């Protein structure tokens, strides 16, 4: 068996080197966690495998994502990267995706609520984009079911990019190099029977390019990952003690923030306070939320904890300035500590944790081990 | 050879092959041939021995008291207590430590230990497949006694679990689980099967809890259903304990005096049990709105469907005494204080004594001899028809042949007509237990992806069966597959059909 594995590994390494280094031109490079296929696409090849059966999908495996398995178009990724930082995508040329999803802060923006195109604060805290391609629902209230649907939100919102398909097409006409780049990756289809309007083509191409780029924003290179993949020394003593608190049922953190994504993606009520400036927020329980009338008030999607040390302030409203403050909120029992003001339909895992000061410190130290090497 | 290939490599070196080898390591698919046995005595630390052990090793623990929390993050480790002259090895948290044992490595076995005085759980496994937990005496370990979560092929047998503020034995989001021959008492919930599929709960003695056996599909979790659960030949009696669950926890809303509660679970078989002396009801069949404190989840079907109740002895209390009324007042008080009581749940708060209580039930249930029981609520039951042959279901687990789990034989699970409910699942179970070690749907693991197999054998499952019985080396860059004849023709065919069903859509679009 051992000899066989050696043989397989050697063969695979040689094949990988031949394919990656010699046969294909350097221009078609793929980002980290992706490898170039024979057909020139970037296929997911990260450290955690995607699930092969519907019952897998936690602790050791990622949910299956078809587009990552089939591979992304490297040209679309490159174009999406360019679009991501381009203010041409906002009607007033005053906002890019990156303004709220800054790579330096794990694709968040350090504001309690993001600032819109008009300079006014929006409703909620900017969520990190890392590993978003593995999620089933998007926005804090889970109202979008696909990354494409999500993207239409800020792009067409009056308070954010303030675009429309017509304005987007107009912008392409005014920006020839962008038009040329888009045409190269997405050659317009000319079917007499069902012609795609130029506006629809522009939305489709820009959306696909941006989603392709965002699909490559993967975060699996933290000390925690090196530990989970077998390096017993990758976590410091305190980080490991903190992880043991994190996975304990005394804290119950890992019940909703399940590795390796560190989120279950569920819509839950924990009773985090709204921000005085942003006002009451019912989340998925509000109008247009994923739960419609069925979900409870103040219902929000469980966010990932990856790179959490870089993404202050915290919660849907950005009400907590530090991780310590956030952990103390949970330790007191979240919304359950509010007594008679306790929100309805709190998740049953939200109860006092009764952790000591030292244990909370260790928990915070562990959360620091979820920061990726960059 | 394998021990040389540790996984401590620098991940910035993009050797995807090395990484996939590490993942095989973690999933327990690679086990070194030589396993060692390490002895630990009370003068030393068990954890230090675990840290020094190699995958596949056994750690034998001498009698005595060990004040430790144990963490097992490597595959195929066995923790075994030595019992000598009646003296046990005992893990004691002293009421200060959070957890007794947490394991994340596949193929984990723990046996012959006493575990007591922890705040979190006695034994918890997270994401570990092929877990065996047996012959433990677990007492006062906080929230759960024995808690495997997110695992395949879990065996929990011959344990004694008591004094737990939530569930004594809690099976969370697992598949293919056997819970057999346990004694579970004086917990809030005795045995709880939650958002899990294919679970056998048999020959357990479950008494003096608030609720005996719970089969729950709960909201707000990533796994959305509980189905194919078999409660066979258990003794479930006198579960009238006052409810000491933590306020806000799901079990805090269990009415004292509940024998078996089926909440929103499907295809539950309750056969051959003795269910006696309960102050609320022997069996409760309820939906989400009928349980206080449950939050809505649009993705979970809130009603139980296709529950079969037959060949049980059910005898409940006829009237309540002062002690029972005291327990009721306590329950009602704390439930109302905790809030979150939906209108539909108010009725459950009232004291009652019935054999079977139903509220918001789903459809297609069956009950033998409807007239024999005192039923409260609608009676959605059809007659059950022919009695099931219980011998057909010794386990819900299917094991790879080299597994360490004893008492489980692949031949035991025969898709004969009397085991009809499981037959469609056999292909899937065999695939998960055996094939998935080397094959994945869309990518090359050790063998070729299923999509390639499905392209080659489109509409020809028999072809796959023949290849699996007499494999040949087809491609130079793949190792030759070992023959799978031991599975038998029936199981191989079911597996081949499952593989084609799984991979065909993907294969055709490629």
The reported pLDDT for the residue numbered A2 is 47
Q: Which of B3, B5, B23 to mutate to test the interface with A (most CBs of A within 10 A)?
A: B23
Q: Which residues in chain B touch residue A9, judged by CB atoms under 8 angstroms apart?
A: 17-18, 21
Q: How far is CA B479 from CA A8, B55, B191, B473, in A?
A: 8, 23, 44, 7
- The chain B residue lying nearest A47, using CA atoms, is B19
- Which of A:213-272 have CB within 8 Å of B? 221, 225-226, 228-234, 244-245, 247-250, 254, 258-259, 264-269
User: A2, B2: Cβ pair inside 8 Å?
Assistant: yes
Closest approach of chain A CAs to the CA of B508, in angstroms?
Answer: 14
pLDDT at B324 over 50: yes
A205 falls in which pLDDT band (50, 70, 90)?
Answer: very high
- Between positions 335 and 374 of A, the ones with CB within 8 A of B are 336, 342, 344-348, 350-351, 354, 373
The interface residues of chain B toward chain A in range 342-361, judged by CB-CB distance below 8 A, are: none
Task: Note the pLDDT tens digit of each residue in B214-244.
Answer: 999 998 888 999 999 999 999 999 999 999 9
Q: What is the pLDDT of residue B216?
A: 97
Instruction: Return the pLDDT at B9.
Output: 34
Q: Name the one residue in this structure whose structure tokens are 């939100």.
A: A153
Considering only A173-187, A215-229, A288-302, B347-361, which range has the smallest mean pLDDT? A288-302
Structure confidence by residue, pLDDT tens digits, B239-271? 999 999 988 788 988 999 999 999 999 999 999
Condensed to tens digits (0 to 9), the pLDDT of residues B120-136 reads 999 999 989 899 999 99
Residue of A nearest to B103 (CA): A247
* Beta-carbon separation of B152 and A55 below 8 A: yes
Contact between chains at A250 and B98 (C-beta distance less than 8 A):
yes
Nearest CA distance, A208 vs chain B (angstrom): 20
B238 SS3 class: coil
What is the pLDDT, as a whole number, of residue B437?
Answer: 59
What pLDDT band is residue B17 in, cutting at 50, 70 and 90?
Answer: very low
Residue A72 β-bridge partners: A42
For residue A297, what pLDDT band results from cuts at 50, 70 and 90?
A: low
ipTM: 0.83
CB-nearest partner of A342 from B20, B295, B339 = B339
Residue B455: its pLDDT value, please? 84
CB distance from B442 to chain A under 8 Å? Answer: yes
**Residues in chain B closer than 8 A to A4 (CB atoms):** 479
Per-window interface: B 130-169 vs A, CB < 8 A: 142-144, 147, 150, 152
Q: Which of B:83-122 have CB within 8 Å of A?
A: 98-99, 102, 104, 119-121
Q: Copy the structure tokens of residue A81.
A: 């990267």
Q: What is the pLDDT of residue B412?
A: 29
Q: What is the mean pLDDT of residues B98-111?
A: 95
Confidence category of residue A183, pLDDT binned at 50, 70, 90:
very high
The mean-pLDDT minimum among A46-55, B96-105, B415-424 falls in B415-424
Question: Does pLDDT of B88 surpass 80?
Answer: yes
Contact A233 B16 (CB under 8 A): no
The residue-averaged pLDDT of A173-199 equals 87
Average pLDDT over residues B26-49: 78
Nearest-CB residue to A60 (from B120, B127, B221): B127
* Calpha distance B108→B127 (Å, rounded): 11
The reply to whether residue B51 touches residue A49, judged by beta carbons under 8 angstroms, is: no
CA-based angle B233:B236:B238, to the nearest 5?
Answer: 160
pLDDT of residue A120: 87
Q: Identify the band that residue A342 occupies on the pLDDT scale cut at 50, 70 and 90.
A: confident
Neighbour tally for A317: CB within 10 Å: 24
The pLDDT-based confidence of B391 (bands split at 50, 70, 90) is low
Q: Supply the pLDDT for residue A203.
A: 96
**The two structure tokens encoding residue B411:** 């031949």
Q: Which of A249, A285, A366 to mutate to test the interface with B (most CBs of B within 10 A)?
A: A249
> Does the beta-carbon distance from B11 to A225 stay under 8 Å?
yes
Residue B389 has pLDDT above 90, yes or no: no
Is there a contact between B334 and B277 (Cβ–Cβ < 8 Å)?
Answer: no
Q: Which of residues 46-75 of B touch A (CB under 8 A)?
A: 51, 69, 71, 73
Q: Do B340 and A266 touch (CB under 8 A)?
A: no
pLDDT band with cut points at 50, 70 and 90 for residue A26: very low
Binary contact (B127, A58; C-beta < 8 A): yes
DSSP element (H, E) containing B199: strand B197-202
Write the pLDDT tens digit of every residue in A253-282: 999 999 999 999 999 999 999 888 888 888
On chain A, the residues whose CB falls within 8 A of the CB of B18 are 9
Mean pLDDT of B395-424: 39
Contact B436 A52 (CB under 8 A): yes
**Are the beta carbons of B298 and A295 separated by less than 8 Å?**
yes
Are the beta carbons of B193 and B214 closer than 8 angstroms? yes
Nearest to B26 among A60, A234, A342 (CB): A60
One-letter-per-residue 3-state SS of chain A: CHHHHHHHHHHHHHHHHHHHHHHCCHHHCCCCCEEECCCCCEEECCCCCECCCCCCCCCCCECCCHHHHHCECHHHHHHHHHHHCCHHHCCCCCCCHHHHCEHHHCCECCCCCCECCCCCECCCCCCCCCCHHHCCCECCCCCECCHHHHHHHHHHCCCCCCCCHHHHHHHHHHCHHHHHHHHHHCCCCCCCCCCCCHHHHHHHHHHHHHHHHHCCCCCCCCHHHHHHCCCCCCCCHHHHHHHHHHHCCCCCHHHHCCCCCCCCCCEEECCCCCCCCCCCCCECCCCCCCCCCCCCCCEEECCCCCCHHHCCCECCCCCECCHHHHHHHHHCCHHHHHHHHCCCCCCCCCCCCCCCHHHHHHHHHHHHCCCCCC
Residue B274 structure tokens: 């003795």
By mean pLDDT, which of B95-99, B201-205, B331-335, B483-487 is the weakest?
Answer: B483-487
Radius of gyration of chain A (CA): 22
Q: What is the pLDDT of residue B402?
A: 33
> Does B11 sit within 8 Å of A47, measured CB to CB?
yes
Q: String of b and e for B178-210 (b: at least 16 CB within 10 Å)? A: bbbbbbbbbbbbbbbbbbbbbbbbbbbbbbbbb
Looking only at the bridges linking them, the beta strands covering A42-44 and A34-36 are antiparallel
Asked if A229 lies within 8 A of B7 by C-beta distance, the reply is yes
Question: pLDDT tens for residues A78-112?
Answer: 999 999 999 999 999 999 999 999 999 999 999 99
Are B249 and A5 an interchain contact pair (Cβ–Cβ within 8 Å)? no
**Nearest-Cα residue of chain A relative to residue B69:** A244
Q: What is the pLDDT of residue A284?
A: 86
Facing residues of A27 across strands? Answer: none
Question: Which one of B10, B28, B105, B126 would you mutate to disrupt binding with A, by most A Cβ within 10 Å of its Cβ?
Answer: B126
Interface size A-B, in CB pairs within 8 Å, comes to: 184
Q: What is the pLDDT of residue A192?
A: 63
Q: For residue range A32-79, what is the model confidence (pLDDT) as tens digits?
A: 999 999 999 999 999 998 887 554 557 878 998 999 999 999 999 999
Q: Measured on CA atoms in the order A90, A92, A96, A101, is the torsion positive or negative?
A: negative
**Tens digit of each residue's pLDDT (9 = 90 or more) over B447-506:** 788 888 888 888 888 888 888 888 877 776 666 777 777 677 777 888 888 888 888 765
The pLDDT > 70 percentage for chain B reads: 81
Residue in chain A nearest B509 by alpha carbon: A70
Residue A353 pLDDT: 93
Interface of A with B in 292-321 (CB under 8 A): 292, 294-296
Confidence of residue B392 (pLDDT cuts 50, 70, 90): low
Q: Given an 8 Å threshold on Cβ–Cβ distance, is A248 in contact with B120?
A: yes
Any chain A CB within 8 A of the CB of B321?
no
Which of A59, A264, A336 shows the shortest C-beta gap to B127? Answer: A59
Residues of A in contact with B105 (CB under 8 A): none
What is the nearest CA distance from A222 to chain B, expressed in angstroms?
10
Q: B477 and chain A: CB distance < 8 Å anywhere? A: yes
Give pLDDT tens digits for B153-194: 999 999 999 999 999 999 999 999 999 999 999 999 999 999
**CA-to-CA distance for A153 and A161, rounded, in angstroms?**
9
Q: What is the mean pLDDT of residues B412-431?
A: 46
């Amino acid at each position: 068996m051992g000899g066989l594995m050696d043989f397989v590994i050697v063969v695979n390494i040689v094949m990988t080197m031949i394919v990656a280094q010699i046969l294909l031109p350097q221009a078609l490079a793929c980002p980290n966690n992706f490898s170039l296929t024979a057909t020139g696409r970037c296929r997911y090849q990260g450290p955690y495998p995607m699930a092969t059966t519907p019952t897998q999908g936690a602790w050791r495996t990622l949910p299956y994502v078809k587009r990552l398995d089939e591979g992304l178009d490297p040209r679309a990724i490159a174009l999406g990267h360019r679009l991501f930082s381009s203010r041409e995508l906002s009607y007033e040329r005053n906002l890019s995706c990156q303004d709220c999803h800054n790579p330096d802060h794990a694709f968040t923006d350090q504001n309690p609520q993001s600032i819109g195109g008009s300079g006014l604060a929006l409703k909620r805290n900017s969520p990190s984009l890392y590993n978003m391609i593995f999620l089933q629902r998007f926005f804090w209230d889970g109202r979008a079911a696909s990354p494409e649907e999500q993207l239409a939100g800020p792009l067409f919102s009056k308070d954010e990019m303030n675009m429309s398909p017509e304005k987007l097409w107009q912008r392409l006409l005014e920006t020839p190099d962008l038009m040329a780049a888009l045409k190269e990756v997405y050659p317009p289809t000319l079917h007499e029977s069902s012609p795609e309007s130029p506006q629809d083509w522009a939305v489709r191409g820009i959306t696909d390019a941006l989603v392709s780029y965002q699909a490559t924003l993967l975060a699996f290179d933290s000390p925690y990952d090196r530990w989970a993949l077998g390096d017993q020394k990758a976590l410091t003593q305190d980080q490991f003690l903190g992880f043991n608190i994190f996975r304990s049922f005394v804290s119950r953190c890992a019940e909703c923030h399940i590795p390796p994504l560190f989120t279950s993606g569920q819509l839950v009520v924990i009773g985090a306070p709204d921000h005085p400036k942003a006002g009451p927020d019912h989340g998925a329980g509000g109008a247009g939320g994923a739960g419609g009338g069925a979900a409870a008030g103040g219902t929000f999607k469980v966010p990932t904890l990856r790179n959490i040390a870089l993404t202050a302030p915290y919660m849907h409203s950005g009400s907590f300035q530090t991780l310590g403050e956030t952990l103390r909120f949970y330790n007191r029992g979240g919304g359950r500590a509010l007594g008679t003001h306790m929100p309805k339909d709190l998740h049953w895992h939200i109860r006092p944790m009764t952790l000591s000061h030292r244990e909370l410190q260790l928990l915070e130290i562990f959360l620091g081990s979820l920061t990726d090497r960059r | 050879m394998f021990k040389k290939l540790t996984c401590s490599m620098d991940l910035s070196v993009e050797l995807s092959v090395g990484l996939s080898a590490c993942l095989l390591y973690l999933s327990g698919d690679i086990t070194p041939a030589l396993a060692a046995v390490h002895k630990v005595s009370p003068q030393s630390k068990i954890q230090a021995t675990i840290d020094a052990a190699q995958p596949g090793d056994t750690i034998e623990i001498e009698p005595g008291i060990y004040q430790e929390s144990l963490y097992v993050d490597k595959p195929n480790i066995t923790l075994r207590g030595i019992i000598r002259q009646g003296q046990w090895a005992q893990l004691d948290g002293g009421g200060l430590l959070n957890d007794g044992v947490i394991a994340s490595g596949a193929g984990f076995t723990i046996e012959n230990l006493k575990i007591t005085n922890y705040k979190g759980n006695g034994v918890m496994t997270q994401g570990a497949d092929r877990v065996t937990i047996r012959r433990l005496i677990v007492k006062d370990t906080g929230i759960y006694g024995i808690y495997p979560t997110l695992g395949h092929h879990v065996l929990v047998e011959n344990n004694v679990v008591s004094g737990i503020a939530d569930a004594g034995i809690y099976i969370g989001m697992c598949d293919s689980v056997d819970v057999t021959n346990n004694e579970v008492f004086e917990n809030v919930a005795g045995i709880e099967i939650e958002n899990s599929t294919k679970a056998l709960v048999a020959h357990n003695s479950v008494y003096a809890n608030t609720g005996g056996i719970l089969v729950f599909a709960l909201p707000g979790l990533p796994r959305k259903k509980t189905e194919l659960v078999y409660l066979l030949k258990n003794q479930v009696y006198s579960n009238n304990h006052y409810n000491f669950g933590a306020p806000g926890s799901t079990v805090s809303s269990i009415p004292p005096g509940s024998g078996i509660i089926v909440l929103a679970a499907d295809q539950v078989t309750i056969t051959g049990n003795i269910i006696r002396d309960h102050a609320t009801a022997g069996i409760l069949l309820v939906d989400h709105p009928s349980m206080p404190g449950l939050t809505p989840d649009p993705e979970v079907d809130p009603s139980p469907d296709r529950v079969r109740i037959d060949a049980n002895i059910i005898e409940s209390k006829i009237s309540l005494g002062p002690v029972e009324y005291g327990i009721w007042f306590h329950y009602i008080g704390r439930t109302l204080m905790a809030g979150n009581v939906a209108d539909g749940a108010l009725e459950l708060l009232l004291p009652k004594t019935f054999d079977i209580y139903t509220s918001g039930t789903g459809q297609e249930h069956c009950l033998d001899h409807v007239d024999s029981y005192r039923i409260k609520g609608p009676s959605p039951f059809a007659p059950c028809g022919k009695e099931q042959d219980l011998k057909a279901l010794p386990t819900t687990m299917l094991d790879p042949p080299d597994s360490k789990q004893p008492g489980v034989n692949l031949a035991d699970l025969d898709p004969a007509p009397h085991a009809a409910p499981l037959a469609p699942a056999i292909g899937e179970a065999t695939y998960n237990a055996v094939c998935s070690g080397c094959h994945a749907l869309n990518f090359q693991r050790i063998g070729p992806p299923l999509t390639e197999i499905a392209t080659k054998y489109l509409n020809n499952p028999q072809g796959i069966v023949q290849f699996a019985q007499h494999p040949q080396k087809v491609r130079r860059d793949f190792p030759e597959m070992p023959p799978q004849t031991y599975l038998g023709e029936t199981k191989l065919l079911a597996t081949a059909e499952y593989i084609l069903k799984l991979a065909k859509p993907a294969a055709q679009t490629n």
